[in-house]
Amino acid sequence: MALRLARGWTGRQGIIVTEAAYHGNTAAVTEVSPSSYKQGTPPDHVHILPISRMSEQADPAAWFAEQVRFGIEQLEARGHGCAALLVDSIFSSDGIYADPAGFLKPAVELLQARGGLFISDEVQPGFGRTGQGMWGFSRHGVTPDVVTMGKPMGNGFPMSGLAAREELLAVLNADVGYFNTFGGSPVAVAAGTAVLDVIAEEDLMANAERQGEYFKRQLQDIQARFEEVSDVRGAGLFLGLDLCDPTRDGAPDAQRTTALINDLKRNGVLIGGAGKSGSTLKIRPPLCIERSEADLFLDRFEQSLKATAK
C-alpha cells in the first residue's frame, strides 16, 4: 500500500532503500528488500544506500543526506524518478543504526523538497521499543508521509496498519479505492487496543528506556573485556552488538555470530543476527523485561562468548 501511495502520488517509480533492508514477502516489497536477494541484483528502479558505511562517517547526517541526493539523481538519470525513500527507522536488518538521533532529518527534508515521500517502516522499531518515543522516526524529528506498522501492533496477533496524509489516501481512493476482507476486523481492533492499553498502563516505553540503558552499559562492559566484541549500539530495547575476529584485523565474524546464536539457543536464549555481513547480534527482548531477566541474558551471553572462543 505504501509503495502504491508513493507511486500514485508522485507519478514516479524509483525507491531508495538500504543495502540489507527487509520490508516483507510480497513481490512488490521483495524488490525493495535487498536482504532477501540470495542472488541477483536489485531491479533498475531500486537504488541501494550503503548504510553499513555510516559508522566510518564523521558527520552521519550530512553523509546520509548526500547518499539520498545521489540516489535521487541516479533514479532520475535512469528515467524512473524517485517516488520514495523507504527505511526501517532503526535499520534493524542492516545491523541497527540509531545514532546520532536526528541523523535522518536533513535527508528527509531534501527528499521531501524534491517531491519524494518518506515511508517509515515501523514494523520493528515502533510501539515504544526505542524508549524515546512511540516510533523510531520520533527520535529523528522528522514527519513521515507514510508509516507502516506490523507485528508488535498485535503482540502476536497477526495484524498490520498504515497511516498516511489524507490527501495521499484521497488520490488512491479516486483511482482504485481500497478494501480487504480482514481490514478493520473487530478481533484485530480488540488485540491492537489491548496492546496500546498495556503499553500505557505498564509504562513500557519508560521500561524500554530504563532497561535498555542498563543493557547497553552492561554490554559495553562486556565489550571492554572481550576484544571480539567490536561495537555496541542502539536505542532503548533495540540493541546491536558486532562480533569481529581480532586475529583477522578485526574483520566482521559471521561464523562466530552463528556459533554464538546456536550456543545461546542451547542455553534457552533465542536471539537473531543482522547486518550486511551477518555479524551483528540483534538484542531485542520483550518490552516488559525486568532487571533479573536482563541479568540472566547477560550471564548466558558471557558464558556463550567463552564457550565459542576460538
Ligand X SMILES: Cc1ncc(COP(=O)(O)O)c(C=O)c1O
25-44 positions binding ligand X, by CB under 6 A: 25
C-alpha–C-alpha distance, residues 70 and 87, integer Å? 16
**Least distance (Å) between residue 308 CB and ligand X:** 26
86 binds ligand X (CB under 6 A): no
Outline where 18-104 has alpha helix (H). Answer: 27-31, 60-77
Q: Which of 8, 24, 42, 278 binds ligand X (CB under 6 A)?
A: 24
253 binds ligand X (CB under 6 A): no
The stretch near ligand X (CB under 6 A) out of 66-74, 121-129, 170-178, 187-195 is: 121-129
| Nearest in space to 243 (alpha carbons), one of 289, 310, 293 | 310
223 binds ligand X (CB under 6 A): no
Q: What separation, in Å, do the N-terminal and C-terminal C-alpha atoms of the chain show? A: 47
242, containing H or E segment: strand 238-245
**Least distance (Å) between residue 146 CB and ligand X:** 13
193 binds ligand X (CB under 6 A): no
20 or 289, CB closer to ligand X?
A: 20
C-alpha–C-alpha distance, residues 237 and 216, integer Å? 9
92 binds ligand X (CB under 6 A): yes
129 binds ligand X (CB under 6 A): no
22 binds ligand X (CB under 6 A): yes
The stretch near ligand X (CB under 6 A) out of 71-79, 117-125, 193-201, 244-252 is: 117-125
Q: Which residues contact 111 (CB under 8 A, 6 or more apart)?
A: 68, 72, 82, 85, 117, 118
114 or 151, CB closer to ligand X?
A: 151
115 or 161, CB closer to ligand X?
A: 161
Q: Which of 150, 234, 240, 275 binds ligand X (CB under 6 A)?
A: 150
C-alpha–C-alpha distance, residues 243 and 55, integer Å? 15
Q: Which residues contact 79 (CB under 8 A, 6 or more apart)?
A: none
Q: Which of 13, 52, 120, 124 binds ligand X (CB under 6 A)?
A: 124
How many CA within 13 A on the CB side of residue 261?
A: 19
User: Running DSSP on this structure, what letter comes out for residue 124?
Assistant: T
**Least distance (Å) between residue 76 CB and ligand X:** 27
23 binds ligand X (CB under 6 A): yes
Strand 14-18's sheet: what is its strand order? Answer: 46-49, 14-18, 82-88, 117-121, 146-149, 161-164
- What does the binding site for ligand X look like in residue numbers (CB under 6 A)? 22-25, 88, 92, 121, 123-124, 150-151, 160
